[in-house]
A and B are shown apart, each in its own frame.
Chain A
Amino acid sequence: MTSFFRFIARHTAYFYFLLYCSISIMLMQLQRKETLDAIRERGLAANAAIAEQLSGFRSIFSLKQDNERLFLQNARLVSKLRHQELAMRDASAIRSLIDHRTDGMNRFTIARVVDRRFSATDNMLIIDAGRNRGIAKNMTVLTPDGLVGRVIEVSRNYAKVLPVINRNFMVSVLTDSTRTNGLLSWRNGNEGIAQLEHVPVSSTLLVGEGVSTSDFSTFACRGIPVGRIARISKDKLFYNVDIRLAVDFSALSHVMICPDKPTMEKIELMESQDVPQKEP
């Protein structure tokens, strides 16, 4: 017995080795059977927590590079976002125009406003539709909300539009309920307000009444809404009428062009002399 203990005492390292190896192999077996999941999970949690702290510490040294990288990335993203916002706005405007088309309007050409010159005295629009798309001088330009203006000049791919809010623009209009005729024009100032002229005080007008283009117009299709009467005041012979325009010119991005050309015969007839010459 004594010699056995002496043997063990002499070879304790082997016994330790065997013991530890057995425990290790047992742990390996248990690990394969997923019995040590809890320990493994805790190990993973500790590992992740320490790694997070270390990466946080390391990131202090790379803050400058990170900032520069983020600035560049931010710039790229802002640029992309702007591009997508514009595309979405265009798509939404086109969808709105298509949705508002009635059967009679199916022939309308849709164009985008590519340039504008809006000042207190001189307003002009450029649209991206020209002769190639069948646009001609004096065609009516409108949106689903109402009248925008008329085409005054056409190139191959573009057209210049004289908007309602231009001193040189005039159109014959008719009130919706009282059927009173008048001439719509715009004076300098408020881009949302135009004036109705040549309405005699004997006529009937109502505030809030709609105003649309009449048959008398030499260019506009009949019945295009123009706006609503905002204010009426009497002068000696005529009313002073303010019309709140239906179209918001400050947010104009897409327009429709009515393909109906003015009948030249009608224009020529109107421009001919009123009194026939006396025959000798």
Chain B
Amino acid sequence: MLGFIIKRVLGMIPSLAAISVLAFIVIQLPPGDFVTTLVAQAAEAGDTIDDAKMAVLRQRYGVGDPILVQYFRWIGGILQGDFGYSFEWNQPVSQLVWERMGMTSLMSFITLMFIWAIALPIGIYSAVNKYSFGDYAATLFGFIGMATPNFLLAIVLMYISTIWFGNSVGGLFSPEYVKADWSLAKIWDFAKHIWIPVLVLGTAGTAALIRVMRANLLDELNKPYVEAARAKGLPEVKLILAYPVRVAINPFISTVGWVLPTLISGELIVSTVLNLPTAGPLLLQALKSQDMFLAGAFLLMIGALVLIGTLLSDILLAIIDPRIRLS
């Protein structure tokens, strides 16, 4: 088991490297280097940056260096905790990303748990009672859930709450708790706010996973081992939960590999609409204003988050599936 984990962790390294290259390419993509961007921004604000200062900045960030040197300087800095400097915020990037990424990870995790908690029982019900009214209802919900862009869902929820309750549902905390330290009261306030983004984010994923679970279980339900277990005289409910569900749950768990990326994609938009203090709005802002070190750091960390999530799901999978563990 330990060997399996070590192997998987080592296997992450090339992927991480590839993500860092990709993030670096994105940083480099906008026309002109960021010092020119900075100058343009300063000019907009009515400031000027003199040539000497520009030269200093270029020197400091090695703008003129070969691209490989720039990459390794960037990645070397990151390994030491230095993600570069955000010109828009006039702060080191590392001061900006951690809290936001923490919030994003937390929200992704809660949403994932929400999706599993909803999709698993409905998927099982749907498969066992194939073509029943409930199955059709779940299928219909599945299709609509997947067809609705989550930003639209977020706006509709905001619209409804504004019309019906007279207040908007943005944010993750009430104003008095935004700056407060963590406490029971703050957690409670958080719980009161988090369900809307979780609901919005989770709908598409839930819809997809219901279909996945239904299909997986339908495949398993007619397998000989189910029939053999039935021939032993096991009660139906126990039989289904202990055998086909147990087997069908494995591919269900491995969906983390693609559910997590879509969740994070969705998080970006939904947080922007609902104005949540997560990575999304800041990344979008950074991309729009070409604050590329900040954007690059976010891209890198988002990629890492997905990799870690996938790793955890793989480990979980190995724990529950002897075929993976023992091969």
A binds B: no
Residues of B with Cβ closer than 8 Å to A? none
